[in-house]
Each structure stands twice: as structure tokens, then as C-alpha cells.
Structure 1
Amino acid sequence: MDPSRTRGRRAPFLRRTTVLAVAALAASLALAVPTADGAVGRGSRSTQEPGVTVSLWEWNWRSVARECTDVLGPAGYDGVQVAPPQNSLKRTALGNGSDTVLHPWWEVYQAVSYDLTSRMGTEAQFKKMVKTCRRAGVKVYVDAVINHTTGQGSTSYGGVDYTPYRYDGLYGPEDFHAPSGECPSSDGGIQDFNAKAQVWNCNLVGLEDLRTGSDDVQAEIAGYLNKLIRYGVSGFRVDAAKHMPPRDLDAIYSRLNRTKDGVKPYWSLEVLPGGPGVLRPEAYLRSGDVLGVDGARQMQQAFKSYTADHTGSLSSLEVFGAAAGLTPSGKTVSFVTNHDSERNDAGDYLNYKDGATYVLAHQWLLADGYGSPQVYSSFAWVTKDDSPPARADGRITDAVCGQGWTCVHRDRGIVAMVGWHDYVGAAKRVNFWTDDANVVAFSKGNRGWVALNNGTAPKEVRVQTGLPGGRYCDVVSGAEQAGGCTGTVVTVGSTGFATVTVPAKGVVAVTRASRL
């Protein structure tokens, strides 16, 4: 949840054969046969924590299901994060002279009821999508809006009407902080984002703040989340978690059932940086993982703020993760951008409009391995409020890559690095080399080696790969085929050194499994 908005809200190691199959997919994005029903994804940590996920933000349920089968499962993505599925505000008129989008993206972040009739589809379509994705080996993670309800309107996509603080059969005024007299500000909204009583008990940009400490409210929220778990959902991104005390989040989580994989659901919290003590992301680490917003900012500074004196160069990422002041890797969902940060007014984060640089940043994140990496793939936009491709009534149409949908997750270089990331697993980063500007290279133990070039010209490097001598097929530019390589071949000498030309805005990556 972005507090600056003024209108609503916005695996186990892979076997050699599997690695080669992923490399082939990176070259062709060919279809593959899904796994048995109920199969889980290929996370490299535990059954609860995800491996590489993709946020198919505001894709409709039919499109997510198709993508799980055709692309995500074969490519090795462990999971997919989907938009909030609950019934939400449906605007019927523009608000004012500067309001030009009838159905902005943030409609889905204004909850009306916990029925699963949304812009993305029906409850039956949602259930089918989850089942289809699980059959393809892809877990589903839901963006959960549980801090608040709406801030405007009176009509929803599910046909439920409402008035301020009154949602028939669900919530009444006694279930909200402001009407209950628990918000200390003069207007019921957050006036001081450093005051915990306001951040936790007042309305965020007009959104009606639920009394999440109430037993009745907790029961309603847990009932909604448990329904999603029964349908096969594996975990949640908790929207606006910073606006709920950790104790409330813990109480809700304690009511949640185990998933179909037999574990408690994954729980990642949107706690934006800034604020003192109890309002910082670090204060929420005992309650769940947190979103790596600061890491996304550091990547933007490294990839896009490069200057002649090397300030902000790619080489600065030699120190990244917890050593660079970020939250611990094992407690962080890491990403290049998300739906809030890509719309940042100051341009502090990368987005799809950065083209090759955006792709390269994703490849860096997958190579470095900080956090649980998430690839962000959504729709093209001009203004910050733009709707995803939709019908006149606001319902989102099927995703067609290149027709309003960016489909960055299909980029062959990103797909290749998903497989590389899964293969090297948690191996330690060693043999780091840099030209002190925009080229870096490093090994992951003795499992794999990678070089990245954020410069505008190819760069020849001679570096230690940490691999045994031999010829290796670059998984980014090609794949092993009939004993040969369709792309770049990296020749490693007996001492582990190799001389390699790294393409401009490009990557060369090999693993022990890609040895010819």
C-alpha cells in the first residue's frame, strides 16, 4: 500500500536433465506435460517458503491457469502471485476533473466482501485456476486485502451494495477503528506516518480501517483466507501489513489452517520502509517475511544511475543483501519492482519501460539469490491509474503478450536464469570479480558461474569460474543439443579460469550440468 496515493489503493537442486529442459524452454518456450494433480512447486528452501515466483499482476484467472500449464511450470517457476480475488469496489462515475480512468487498477484493493467475484473472474474460475496451476507444479499465492475495506463508491463487482462502514452480513461501524473512536487524528485519517496509533488505527488514504484486533473481525478474515487455503492456495502477500500491529497479524495467522502441502501458509508482509522502531520492516520479521522494497531501490541505483565516476555502478552490488543494510535473505521477498514501486513519481525503481536494463536487473537478482526472488510481469501503462486491458464494465480480458501485457516473465534470458537459480540453490557467492564499473562476474560455490554486463559495449573478461576444466554451454544464449551448444561455449581451463566476452546489457551463465 502506497501512502502517497490520494484516491484509494491503489527447490531441491534440479537434476541435469531438468536443467537442460529449462534451457531448451528458454530458447523456445515449448509446451510441456503438466505434473500430477496436487504436485507442489520446486522451491529451493522448504515446503513453505517459495523458490522463484512470478507476479502476474491483475491477469484474469483463465489467463493465469493457461500460463501455469504452458509457461510457468515448464520454466521452473515455483509459484505465481495473483491479484486480490475478493469482491471489490466497482466505480460507476469519474471522481473529478483530474480523474480520467473509470476502472483504475486500484479498484481491486478496495474490498467489499469476501465473495470471489472480481474483475479477474468468478469463484469457479478461481478454483479451477488454482487446481490447474498446482497440477502444473506451480503454487498460488494470493494478494490479501485484510487491513481495510473501501474508501468510496457504493457498488461492487459482485453486485453487493454498501454504504460507509456498513457491509451487510459482514461488517458494521463497530468493526472499524474510526467510528469506534480509536483513531486519534482529527479527521479519521493518517496525518502523521510516524505515529503508530495513527498508522495502525486510522484510515489510510480514506480506506476504512478494520479493527483487526477484534475477535469478530479476525474470525471473518481468517474465514476468507481459510476458504482460499481449502481451494489450494499456498500463501499470502498481506497488503498494507504496516497498518496492522504485529500482534493482530499473528492472531489472524494462528487461525489459519494448513495448506494442501501439509504446512502452514506462507505469509509475506507489505511493510514499507520508513518510520521509527515498531513501524519498520525489521519489527515485523517475527510475524512473517517482508517485501524487499529497499533492495529494489538499491538495484535501481546500481543499474540506472551509472555515471562516469562509477557512482551507482553495477560493481556497487558486490555488497548486497543484509550486508548492505537490507532485511535478512531468509525473511525477504525480493524483486526489481512491483505494482506500487513501478509507478513511483520520483523514478526510484526500475520498470518494464527500462527495457534491457529491466531484464538484466531480474537476471542479477536471480543470479545473486538474495531473498525469495519474484519476477514482476503485468500490463503496459501511460498514467499511474491506468486499468489493465478490460471490457467497458471493468472486467479484465484475457492476457495476450504484446497486446497490452508485458509478459517479461517469458523473456528467454529470465527463464534461463530461473533454471540457473534453481540449480545453484543456496551455494555461496564466491570469486567475485568486477571492472569497477558495469561488469561483474562470480561463482555460486562449484555449482555455477555467471557474468553480467550493464554497459553499452561487449566486454572481454578473464576470470576464475570455480568450475572444473572443460567446455560449457551458456544457458542464456543457447542450449545443449546433440552434444553441442546452440549458443556461446565457455571454455574453462584446468585452473578454473576462462576468457569470456560478455555482451552489452547481457549475461553469460553456465552450470556444472551444462558441461558438454
Structure 2
Amino acid sequence: MKKSLFLVMAGSIIIASCRQTTPAPEADTNDDVILHAWSWSFDTIAANMKDIAEAGYAYVQTSPANTCFIGEDGGMALFSQPGDSVKGKWYYYYQPTDWKIGNYLLGSRDQFKSMMDSAAKYNVKVIVDVLPNHTAVDHTAVLPDLDNAVGGHDKLFHANGMTDITDYNDRYQCTTGKMGGLPDVNTENPDFQAYYMNYVNDLLSLGVKGFRYDTAKHIGLPSDPLDSLAERNNFWDVATGREEVKGVRLSVPRDSLFIYGEVLQDRNVKEAEYGEYMDLVASNYGHALRNVLEKADFNADSLLIWHHPVDGKHLVTWVESHDTYCNQHESAGLTDEQVRMGYVFLTARQNGTPLFYSRPAGSTRDNYWGNNRVGARGNDEFKHPEVVAVNKFRRAMHGQPENVTASDNGAVIAVARGNAGLVLINISGKTQTVDIPTALPDGAYTDGIHNTTFKANNGRINGTLAPFTSYILTY
């Protein structure tokens, strides 16, 4: 006699017939997801921490917390053009003038601490974007405490640090030269390392649980050429707690932290060696995914390989990052719906740690900057019901292996997790009807977000999907 089984999962009621199954061995899976609260102030993040937690994010990533260059009279615009009444640029917080907590764009140290208290209350872990590679374009704005700590202003930079990089695939230029006008810090100077690690340890003392290393591929590895002012390329050994410097060491165990690096892929980038120290961004995979989304065809690129020498379990995955959105607007042409479909795909998968980049509130394909204010919350997409459901699905599918397939026309992607769950994603702007293989037991599965029922029978599942819509089904 069959019995009906009713499960409540991420707000969904799923109806299926109950049968005895033999549990499959657990697969090695990633469970966590990151919200990149891009340009949100510390107060704004704190005010939204309850929503962040309830949306299923394990981590929230802040923009850089360090003291930074004050540009355009301290204006708070994300991006201003000549003649705009409100001035400013979002990227000034990527131009350090000192390594201490607090800046005019995001908030003070006390406001940062209040944000951390809120994170602890809601059990959300905080990742801070850190950038030891360079200072502000106007290096004369560097504050005296930093200059004094490293032995004088001239000791702060590599000997090659004021020379523009002309070949980003030349490792000496890449790791010692000036990138985009940003003078290159002598990250091998022990005095700088100790000063920087005191900043890191201050962040850790307030409860920070991880770091995103900006421009990580521009900081040398042990195998890289030495700048004439450096004795050893040992920054990463110090930053990840393998070594102490001048009596200063990473103050918590390395394995208690989530650390990943912005090592954008190109020719002659030593991804595997960087991967010995930290997780890495899957930038080529993001490009492939955007290609698939733009063409509404799973077969337009290869999404079954990671396009990376590092294993998927140690990659941070995204549809877009703040750089692809803000700098060249490479991803800005994707609609919010397309980005959401891509994020649902990444999050349904077995591996990678997905990052959801929060676009500005009010942003459109004609107005990338939306409300155009640093400090304000992004749009509501980070807590869209489909995003919330797939975040919770991911954790519920712990230990379940994936099987990624697609409809014949490539418009619908199916991510199965063992025989316990299935996510169906229509990446096209047209209604799609599917009849595809499934490992789900026979029965009717109703997605609680859209109240749409799919029927599984004899190893196949069928149903109809609305344009740019995803469906989360669990047994």
C-alpha cells in the first residue's frame, strides 16, 4: 500500500509516493553561499542581517573596510559624471591610505563592530574584502602611521612599484608593477606584513570569519621573480598563518576561516600554486555561464567542466562580480531574471561556493547605477523567493551527488541531486514543456513558489516551465 508523503521545504509542499530506497554514499559537497553586499554600508548590512539570514546565506561579504582615499570632496555617488550634482566613485574604497578599520564611504570601526554584533545574533559569518596589493593612486595621501610603520614612504612600495604594467602575463611585471595607476606595495617588507596582519587580526577580534583577497594574482608566490627590495616572496605564507612575522601571526586557526583570492584567469597565471593557499574565483566559468545565459542555450558553452585547474570544491562561483558589472559592464546587459537563473543553477550544484552579487537598487539595463548611492542596500533580488528556495535546497542536499542535464533545445537545465531533489531552470524567454530523465521516485512534485506540479513516472519527469523561472523539487 502506498502512502502520501508531505514535506515542507523552503516554503514548498511536495507530494510524492513513498517507497523504500537504499541511501547512496555521501558525496563531497559544498553547502554554503555568499551574499556580496556590494557598497552597502556597515549600518545597512546590520539593518538587513535578519533578511540575509532568513534568505539562507551562510556568509555576507562586505566591501573594503580599510581607511581609503577621499575622492571628489567625499561625495557618496556610486559613479558620477562631470556636471552631476552628487559626486563620487564606488572604487575609492579600493584605494587604501592606511590599514585600519573604518572609512568615510562605509562607516567607522564602531559601526563595523555593530554590524559584527548583528551578524553574531543571526549566525551569519562575515567575509571582508581586503587589498594589501596597492595604495591609492595618489600615494601622497598615504597616512603617516603607515609610512612610519614600514620604515618610511619609500619602503612602502616595490622598487618596480611605480612602473606601469604593460604585459599582465609577465609575472615580474604582474606582481611588482603599478596596476591601473595603483602603486604596488612591497608586500614582502616584513614591517608592512606585520602592520597589515595587525589589521587582519583586528578584524578577526571583532568576529570576522573570512577574507576575499582583491587583486591576489598581483601578489607574488614563492616561485615568482623577486623585486630588488624583497628577500623572499612569502606574503601568502604570512597571510594564511604558515609563518609569523616580527612576532605577529594570524590570530585564529587558518582552517576556521574562509579565504579566497581574486586570481583572474589568463595566460601564465599560477592558479594551482595560488590554490595551495586559498580558494579561488572561477572567472572563466563565469564567462562560460554568461555565454549560456545570453544565448539561452545550455549547449552554447561547456558548463560540465570548471575551466580551472583547481577542483570545483575550492572555487567561488558567480554569474557576475562587481568588476564584471561595474567596470566594463561585461555582465550588466543580463537582466535580473537571467542573473537569477544563473545563480539558481550554480547554487543547485554539488560544488563551488556560489556568490550572489547585489546590484544597486533601482538599476536597469539603461541605468546601471540605479539609486547611485554608496551605502544604500541593493535591490530585492538577493531575497527573491527562488533565490531563498535554492539557498535552502543546497543545504538540504548535503552529501547528494549531482547530475546536470538539459532539454534537447538547451533552454531548460536540470540539476539533480541524487534521488532527493531536482531543480529545473528555464533560461529562455519562452514557455518550455519538458519530458526528461529523472532519478526522483514516481509521484507528483509541486513547487511551492509557483504552485506548479511536475509528474515523475518510470524514470522521467514532465511539466511546463514559464519563461525565466526556476522550480525547486525535493522528495
Do 1:76 and 1:418's aligned partners in 2 also have CA atoms closer than 8 Å?
A: yes
| 1:448 alignment partner, one of 415, 421, 427 | 421
How big is the shift at 1:389? 4.3
CA distance in 2, matches of 1:148, 1:385: 27
CA distance in 2, matches of 1:371, 1:406: 24
Partner in structure 2 of residue 7 of structure 1 = none
Q: Give runs of aligned pairs for residues 35-434 of structure 1, distance below 5 A.
A: 51-69=32-50, 71-92=51-72, 102-118=87-103, 119-152=105-138, 162=143, 167=147, 172-178=152-158, 181-183=159-161, 188-246=163-221, 247-254=234-241, 255-258=249-252, 263-276=255-268, 279-306=269-296, 313-316=297-300, 319-322=303-306, 324-325=307-308, 327-345=310-328, 348=330, 350-351=331-332, 354-379=335-360, 389-390=372-373, 396-399=374-377, 405-430=378-403, 432-434=405-407
Residues 171 and 454 (structure 1 numbering): CA distance in 2 closer, same or farther, change over 3 Å? Answer: farther
CA distance in 1, matches of 2:81, 2:42: 33
Do 2:336 and 2:381's aligned partners in 1 also have CA atoms closer than 8 Å?
A: no
Residues 498 and 386 (structure 1 numbering): CA distance in 2 closer, same or farther, change over 3 Å? Answer: closer
Do 1:22 and 1:419's aligned partners in 2 also have CA atoms closer than 8 Å?
A: yes
Say which is worse superposed, 219-228 or 249-258, in terms of deviation: 249-258
- SS of 1:142's equivalent in the other structure is strand
- SS of 1:224's equivalent in the other structure is helix
CA distance in 2, matches of 1:98, 1:360: 36
- SS of 2:11's equivalent in the other structure is helix
Give CA-to-partner distance per residue, 1:394-439, whole Å, 9 cap, x none.
xx4443xxxxx32321111111111112212342223734213312
Residues 508 and 105 (structure 1 numbering): CA distance in 2 closer, same or farther, change over 3 Å? Answer: same
Aligned length: 430
CA distance in 2, matches of 1:429, 1:221: 41
How big is the shift at 1:386? 6.0
How big is the shift at 1:464? 2.7
How big is the shift at 1:509? 2.0
Give CA-to-partner distance per residue, 1:88-145, whole Å, 9 cap, x none.
1001469x99697732010000111222221111111111111211221210000001
- SS of 1:207's equivalent in the other structure is coil
CA distance in 2, matches of 1:216, 1:388: 42
The AA in structure 1 aligned to 2:454 is V
Give CA-to-partner distance per residue, 1:10-53, whole Å, 9 cap, x none.
xxxxxx99x8463279xxxxxxxxxxxxxxxxxx979xx87111
Do 1:274 and 1:280's aligned partners in 2 also have CA atoms closer than 8 Å?
A: no
CA distance in 1, matches of 2:367, 2:150: 32
CA distance in 2, matches of 1:235, 1:281: 20
Do 1:315 and 1:439's aligned partners in 2 also have CA atoms closer than 8 Å?
A: no
The AA in structure 2 aligned to 1:379 is P
| 1:438 alignment partner, one of 411, 429, 444 | 411
How big is the shift at 1:475? 4.2
Residues 426 and 388 (structure 1 numbering): CA distance in 2 closer, same or farther, change over 3 Å? Answer: farther
CA distance in 1, matches of 2:360, 2:420: 35
Structure 1 length as normaliser, TM-score?
0.75
Residues 198 and 433 (structure 1 numbering): CA distance in 2 closer, same or farther, change over 3 Å? Answer: closer
User: What is the aligned-residue RMSD (CA, Å)?
Assistant: 3.2
Say which is worse superposed, 101-110 or 139-148, in terms of deviation: 101-110
CA distance in 1, matches of 2:371, 2:118: 23
Partner in structure 2 of residue 23 of structure 1 = 11
How big is the shift at 1:388? 7.2
CA distance in 2, matches of 1:171, 1:143: 26
CA distance in 2, matches of 1:103, 1:97: 9
Residues 50 and 464 (structure 1 numbering): CA distance in 2 closer, same or farther, change over 3 Å? Answer: closer
| 1:472 alignment partner, one of 422, 436, 445 | 445
- SS of 1:137's equivalent in the other structure is coil
How big is the shift at 1:234? 0.4
- SS of 2:237's equivalent in the other structure is helix
Residues 430 and 192 (structure 1 numbering): CA distance in 2 closer, same or farther, change over 3 Å? Answer: closer
Give CA-to-partner distance per residue, 1:137-157, whole Å, 9 cap, x none.
2100000011111112766xx
- SS of 2:396's equivalent in the other structure is helix
Gapped runs of 5+ residues in structure 1? 1-15, 26-43, 156-160, 307-312, 391-395, 400-404, 478-486
Residues 371 and 470 (structure 1 numbering): CA distance in 2 closer, same or farther, change over 3 Å? Answer: same
CA distance in 2, matches of 1:424, 1:50: 8
Residues 297 and 326 (structure 1 numbering): CA distance in 2 closer, same or farther, change over 3 Å? Answer: farther
CA distance in 1, matches of 2:81, 2:112: 36
CA distance in 2, matches of 1:67, 1:45: 32
Do 1:321 and 1:328's aligned partners in 2 also have CA atoms closer than 8 Å?
A: no
- SS of 1:321's equivalent in the other structure is coil
Do 1:296 and 1:335's aligned partners in 2 also have CA atoms closer than 8 Å?
A: yes
Residues 510 and 387 (structure 1 numbering): CA distance in 2 closer, same or farther, change over 3 Å? Answer: closer
How big is the shift at 1:384? 10
Do 1:431 and 1:465's aligned partners in 2 also have CA atoms closer than 8 Å?
A: no
| 2:465 alignment partner, one of 497, 502, 506 | 502
CA distance in 2, matches of 1:218, 1:45: 35
How big is the shift at 1:328? 1.8
CA distance in 1, matches of 2:407, 2:322: 32
